[in-house]
Structure 1
């Protein structure tokens, strides 16, 4: 049990009814999970408003309610706390409740449109190889040293974040690498966390269904850097035109990385092959198993971060050469028939272009590139024709299909993708709504030395339609189909 006044420390309070000296058991923002003597925090979400469930929470045993507007009827035995922002209150109270766990380890946030998962996951992998106890909070999973926990959001809710950071404290974790999404920043999920540093990878077209404009999307990312403490580091990719924007108002120590321009950390691609690439990082050569320009940027960000966190430079280079690809990020295999199948999470125009650029750089020109791609439902519609254009322009054959249609009609999404296809590319595209059948068609079209790219879902092991998720793993499916077709 903890005193309510202690977990409210640092929260902007507008009004209080009742005593804040009471002891409370836990914090909840889902009324269905409230137990006896809990605090219920009413959040105004995009789909539901927690204020509509205050009575239900009290009936389930809530002893205190934190809300943005007081209910018309107040119950004497319950303490009501009015706050200016429910999301911020949740984040700060969660941090206080778990003993401000981010202060007890070195937490590094990674933000940007593409590369967050690769950078954070490989930093976790590198520091583990270096002998440290490490934590990871990512799209794919949460790791508390060697123990894995499932996650459903790029940046989880504030309670989940702080609960797992507290577990990291208990396990003696020294470093934690965390993906920080624009949604997470905007919804204050990272409020109250103390960051040792932040990394900006790049910014491109995404999430305009949530953020009204690109500028709003960019400025939301920038908040992570604006709120860094003076002793932290801010590391940014200055080859991206938004890179220096991230540093404009930060109090942190500023560092840059780049492949094309002068920066504190620089890299050059000397060789690029399907089994890896030879990089030159600050005058030292390194062989990496990860290929492509986008991975050269990722490796450089990882090198710079490890250096800023105090690891020895030559040791970092050795460890970088041992890093393996992240699931669903340019994950590939070659069938007996010499067909290369690549599965990648590329679900933005920029990411899709980067992957196809890499493939087209590595190919001899005699192979066909067959791309299977879709766009998610209930998400940014403006990127659909752009994705359609890129896939049809940069592939010999493009198959448009479903990719988590959610509540939308899959055929409608496909038709919006087709609007971006130039007339001279219309003969190159097929529309196959069923994703498994689309992958199968690509496999049947392919002959020896051809390259199949299955883009959009990457590590995801489900397909979401009308609120239901069914098992669906692109990598397993394409591998099974190609094996069945092997003679």
Structure 2
């Protein structure tokens, strides 16, 4: 039996009306899920305010209400707790309810614009190969030891995070690698978690639909490192000018990695091919099955984190060489007609530029590079023309199409992307609203040895149009189309 006062440990309280010694059943922040003797936490969200649903929670049998603004009427038998920040309170309550599960394993958070999924997933792969029971909380999936769950957010809500961490405790998980998004940090989903380390990848143009400015976006990321304990490590990319900003106020052990700058961990690219990378990492050569300079940064971060978590240099290098690419991250196939199709999640200007430059560095220039790309609806509109400019400048031919238009008109999104195209690149571009038709057109235009890049959705297996999700998998579609066209 767990008491209300037990789960309020470390929560900043302004007032308590009622009995704090009542036993509680479960914690909810969605009033529709409230059952008898549950605690309802009224959180002010971006879409709705939980305070509007306090009466619903009361009617459904809540034993306690946690809120920032007390209701005008109290119901007998219900305890009302006022706090200054319900979202922060929810995260701390969730950790207390599940017996602070993050303290019973080594939790490493990975944050930055690009590379979070790759680093988290490959660290999960590496530590699993090294014989440890390992957990993963990522955009692509959640894994508890060897049990998989579908992911719904880059960083889940705080209740879900602690529920999975508690399950990891029960399964004997020793290490967990977690993507930490700016939304997750800003919405206090990671409050109350005990991190053994934090990794910063890079910071580029993204999420300015949510954050008011780039500096706010940067400072939200920085707050994650500010809150790391002195027992943790803070590992940052020294080639990104924001890396040192992340370290300014952290109490954690400061560690850097870089390809170009002086750093604690350094790497040099010796060979870059479609089959992989040959790297010199801290004077040791290693071949990895990942592609491109952006992945050299990811590999270096993984290597550094592995050593900081206790693996030897030899172990880390051995397992690095065995790692395989993440679904939807530079995932490629070669057709019978020797057409290479690459599917990548690149949905920011910097990520798209990295992928296109990687392909251009590897290819001989005797073949065409045909890019299929769009931008998501109801998201940062300012990046659309920037991505149009990059795609057209770095491709032989580019087809602008739909990504996940959501509630926006897909034609309008495409028009905004096209505004960034330089006049000399106009002739390279096509606009095809249907993503499947755009991919089919790219396959029809491609000749032997040509390369097709399908960017933006990567691992996603759906397309969202006007609130409805339909099955859509870029990799499966291009695979089927190339087989069909080869007949």
Q: TM-score, normalised by structure 1?
A: 1.00
Residues 299-352 of structure 1: CA distance to partner in whole angstroms, max 9, x if unpaired? 000000000001010111010000000000000000000000000000000000
Q: CA deviation at 1:456?
A: 0.2
Aligned to 2:193: 193
What secondary structure, in the 3-state scheme, does the structure 2 residue paired with 1:322 have? coil
CA RMSD of superposed structures (Å): 0.6
Summarize the alignment of residues 424-463 of structure 1 with structure 2, pairs less than 5 Å apart: 424-463=424-463
Residues 158-191 of structure 1: CA distance to partner in whole angstroms, max 9, x if unpaired? 0000000000000000000000000000000000
Aligned to 1:103: 103
Q: CA deviation at 1:61?
A: 1.1
Residues 265-319 of structure 1: CA distance to partner in whole angstroms, max 9, x if unpaired? 0000000111011000000000010010000000000000000001010111010
1:116 matched to 2:116? yes
Aligned to 2:26: 26
- Between the two proteins, the alignment pairs up a number of residues equal to 487
Mapped to 2, the partners of 1:328 and 1:211 lie a distance apart of: 26
Aligned to 2:212: 212
Q: TM-score, normalised by structure 2?
A: 1.00
Mapped to 2, the partners of 1:158 and 1:47 lie a distance apart of: 17
Aligned to 2:398: 398
What secondary structure, in the 3-state scheme, does the structure 2 residue paired with 1:93 have? helix
What secondary structure, in the 3-state scheme, does the structure 2 residue paired with 1:11 have? coil
Aligned to 1:139: 139
Mapped to 2, the partners of 1:83 and 1:434 lie a distance apart of: 49
1:483 matched to 2:466? no
Mapped to 1, the partners of 2:59 and 2:470 lie a distance apart of: 35
Mapped to 1, the partners of 2:462 and 2:417 lie a distance apart of: 22
Aligned to 1:385: 385
Residues 28-56 of structure 1: CA distance to partner in whole angstroms, max 9, x if unpaired? 00011111100000111111111111111
Mapped to 1, the partners of 2:414 and 2:20 lie a distance apart of: 55
Q: CA deviation at 1:467?
A: 1.5
Q: CA deviation at 1:17?
A: 1.0
Residues 350-409 of structure 1: CA distance to partner in whole angstroms, max 9, x if unpaired? 000000000000010111000000000010000000000000110011111111111111
Q: CA deviation at 1:234?
A: 0.4
What secondary structure, in the 3-state scheme, does the structure 1 residue paired with 2:310 have? coil
Aligned to 1:423: 423
What secondary structure, in the 3-state scheme, does the structure 2 residue paired with 1:114 have? coil
What secondary structure, in the 3-state scheme, does the structure 1 residue paired with 2:328 have? coil
Summarize the alignment of residues 330-369 of structure 1 with structure 2, pairs less than 5 Å apart: 330-369=330-369
Q: CA deviation at 1:107?
A: 0.3
Aligned to 1:78: 78
Q: CA deviation at 1:465?
A: 1.3
Runs ≥4 in structure 1, deviation > 4 angstroms?
A: none
Mapped to 1, the partners of 2:213 and 2:53 lie a distance apart of: 32
List gaps (5 residues or longer) in structure 1: none
